[in-house]
């Protein structure tokens, strides 16, 4: 029976099979989730001390997320395309008009 349990743990948890790219992708995905959660908590908090703490945590998490993104981008693991200037301007206009309403 012990041998069977040992086999199950080997087959379900093969962390050693994650290469560096997979690990960094997982970290970046986790950071995105964490910042989303902190942002929600921040919006729903009514205590100023709690809000201040959450704002600091959110800033820290965004910095970590940026470092991960930049490292992955440098290694060619997170590619982004430059948007056309016309598309950028259209998007700016779209959102600036919705904010001023």
Q: Is residue 48 part of a domain?
A: yes
Rounded Cα distance between 21 and 88, Å, is 30
- How many structural domains does the chain have? 1
Q: Is residue 101 part of a domain?
A: no
**Angle, to 10 degrees, between the axis of helix 48-74 and the axis of helix 20-44?**
160
Mean pLDDT of 55-84: 95
Q: Is residue 53 part of a domain?
A: yes
Q: Is residue 71 part of a domain?
A: yes
User: For residue 29, what are the domain limits?
Assistant: 19-78
pTM > 0.85: no
Query: What does the block give as tokens for 74?
Result: 């440098």
Q: Is residue 100 part of a domain?
A: no
The DSSP annotation for the chain comes to -HHHHHHHHHHH--GGG--HHHHHHHHHHHHHHHHHHHHHHHHH---HHHHHHHHHHHHHHHHHHHHHHHHHHHTTSS---PPPHHHHHHHHHHHHHHH--
Q: Is residue 97 part of a domain?
A: no
Query: Tens digit of pLDDT for each residue in 7-41?
Result: 544 555 565 678 999 999 999 999 999 999 999 99
For the chain, the average pLDDT equals 86
């Amino acid at each position: 029976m012990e041998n069977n349990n040992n086999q199950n743990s080997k087959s379900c948890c093969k962390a050693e099979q994650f290469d560096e790219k997979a690990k960094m992708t997982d970290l970046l995905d986790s950071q995105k989730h964490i910042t989303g959660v902190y942002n929600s908590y921040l919006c729903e908090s009514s205590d100023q001390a709690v809000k201040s703490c959450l704002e600091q945590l959110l800033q820290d998490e965004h910095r970590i997320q940026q470092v991960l993104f930049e490292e992955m981008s440098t290694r060619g693991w997170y590619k982004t395309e430059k948007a056309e200037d016309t598309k950028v301007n259209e998007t700016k206009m779209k959102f600036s008009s919705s904010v001023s309403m």
